Amino acid sequence: MIKFVPAQPAAVNINQIEVALSEIRNDAMSGWLDLPDNYDRDELANIKKAAQQIQNDSKFLVCIGIGGSYLGHKALIDALEKPSYTRVLYAGNSLSPRALNAVMQQIGDADFSVNVISKSGTTTEPAVAFRFFKEKLYKKYGKEGAAKRIYATTDAKQGALHGEAVQEGYTRFVVPDNIGGRFSVLTAVGLLPLAVAGADVDALLDGAKTEKDDYAREPNLGNVTAVQYAVTRSEYWKKKYDTEVMASFEPSLQYFEEWWKQLFGESEGKNHQGIFPASVVYTTDLHSLGQYMQDGRRNIFETMLEVEKVGEVDFAVPIIPGADVDGLKYLEDRKLSDINRIACMATMAAHRAGGIPVLEVIMPDLTERSLGALVYFFEYACALSAKLSGVNPFDQPGVEAYKTNMFGLLGKPVA
């Protein structure tokens, strides 16, 4: 379902890919690989039930989480742009009082619920934010009423959040042991907020399954699009391209790019190596980073994230009779989507001419099915790409350094 157009055909070494894929399969953190087939249907039914409850009793759902516990569902909710009475808000993804205040102000006196999401159940940013929203819930609904509005998505057995959820009787959802944060968007981590935001979560999982089945059906691994993308990245890395810029002409995909950056950055940036993942949204960023892309250091390759059919909403440039005062007569009655598409073609041609290899990842539309497939495509490619560069895709040891310093400075008692 997801198409991939490399700048030049990737030279796939089938043996090497087979070895890497078998290592991924045998890894204890490879649960996301078969998730579209193995999803716990009872859990899914409970997610839908909880989403219904939240839609009935809350104007806002505050999703508290950071990294993989936040970026995936924000990415998909933004891309889908579904109408829903309940708006999903985000907190606990920074320590900024201004950011916290903005969410608090937005809620005001309205009814709200909280989905606190932390696989480990011990991450500082969401844990701190949770305290503030708990206090607000207590004031509005009392302790018992608050507990009915708190949904905890965390480990099945351990962590401070798990302990609290059990003790206080919050509705609980599980992040499976064998799926890490940045690979978890198609678990309860993403599915509960997505269902509240009006997304068809069955279609999301079906989309991922279609992509997975397409790979399994393909007799030649070299034709699997995600394999081609992973191998292409690895080839550019070897040719000293150390930065990949993901670009899109669709502003609603900005957070998809953020999710992608985390997925690849945290999976590959190890042992002082790894392609640096960056992102832009065009045409906006053609007027800020466009100059660099066209003429700057040639260490970049660009991955254009394209959507064949963006949606039903479109506008034709208004026809205004009279003189051509704004010089736009030549665009009159042209569809905005068409102008955007042509801007994309023109940009790719310009960047290629300027010496930037441009890869294309093309999805049919912005539906749940296509987005589910796109998530699977990137997760598969990311795990493989990290393996090809000899690092463990599923850990993130480097994230501890700032925490250790911060805890020391804040005087956290040593356990």
Considering only 66, 150, 196, 382, the residue that binds ligand PA5 (CB under 6 A) is 66
User: Which residue is it, tokens 């356990």?
Assistant: 415
Task: Decide whether 27 or 206 has the Cβ nearer to ligand PA5.
Answer: 27
CA-CA distance, 163 to 172, in Å (whole number)? 11
- The answer to whether 30 contacts ligand PA5 (rule: CB under 6 A) is no
Considering only 119, 149, 212, 351, the residue that binds ligand PA5 (CB under 6 A) is 119
Query: What are the two backbone dihedrals, phi and then psi, of residue 166, each rounded to the nearest 5 degrees?
Result: -65, -50
Task: Decide whether 56 or 158 has the Cβ nearer to ligand PA5.
Answer: 158
Task: Decide whether 301 or 376 has the Cβ nearer to ligand PA5.
Answer: 376
Task: Decide whether 6 or 193 has the Cβ nearer to ligand PA5.
Answer: 193
Q: Catalytic pick from 211, 235, 266, 306?
A: 266
DSSP percent split of the chain into helix, strand, coil, nearest 5: 55, 15, 30
Task: Decide whether 126 or 357 has the Cβ nearer to ligand PA5.
Answer: 126
- The answer to whether 182 contacts ligand PA5 (rule: CB under 6 A) is yes
Contact of 54 with 86, CB cutoff 8 Å:
yes
User: Which residue is it, tokens 């993403």?
Assistant: 190
Q: Catalytic pick from 143, 309, 329, 403?
A: 403
- The answer to whether 91 contacts ligand PA5 (rule: CB under 6 A) is no
How many residues sit close enough to ligand PA5 to count as binding (CB under 6 A)? 14
Query: What are the two backbone dihedrals, phi and then psi, of residue 111, each rounded to the nearest 5 degrees?
Result: -70, 140
- The answer to whether 181 contacts ligand PA5 (rule: CB under 6 A) is yes
Task: Decide whether 106 or 120 has the Cβ nearer to ligand PA5.
Answer: 120
- The answer to whether 118 contacts ligand PA5 (rule: CB under 6 A) is yes
In the three-class reduction of DSSP (H, G, I as helix; E, B as strand; rest coil), residue 301 is classed as strand
| Nearest distance in Å: CB 299, ligand PA5 | 26
Taking CB under 6 A as the binding criterion, the range among 51-59, 98-106, 112-120, 217-225 that sits at the site for ligand PA5 is 112-120
CA-CA distance, 318 to 336, in Å (whole number)? 10
CA-CA distance, 275 to 260, in Å (whole number)? 13
Q: CB under 8 Å to 336, separation ≥6 — which residues?
A: 314, 315, 316, 317
144 is catalytic: no
Residue type, 239: K
CA-CA distance, 313 to 270, in Å (whole number)? 43
DSSP 180-208: -GGG-TTSHHHHHHHHHTT--HHHHHHHH
- The answer to whether 93 contacts ligand PA5 (rule: CB under 6 A) is no
- Residue 68 DSSP code: G
CA dist list (Å): 160 to 180, 262, 399: 18, 25, 20
- The answer to whether 266 contacts ligand PA5 (rule: CB under 6 A) is yes
266 is catalytic: yes
Binders of ligand PA5 among residues 370 to 399 (CB under 6 A) are 396
Taking CB under 6 A as the binding criterion, the range among 13-21, 32-40, 62-70, 353-361 that sits at the site for ligand PA5 is 62-70
403 is catalytic: yes
Active site members: 266, 287, 403
Can you give the binding site for ligand PA5, defined by CB under 6 A? 66-69, 118-120, 123, 126, 180-182, 266, 396
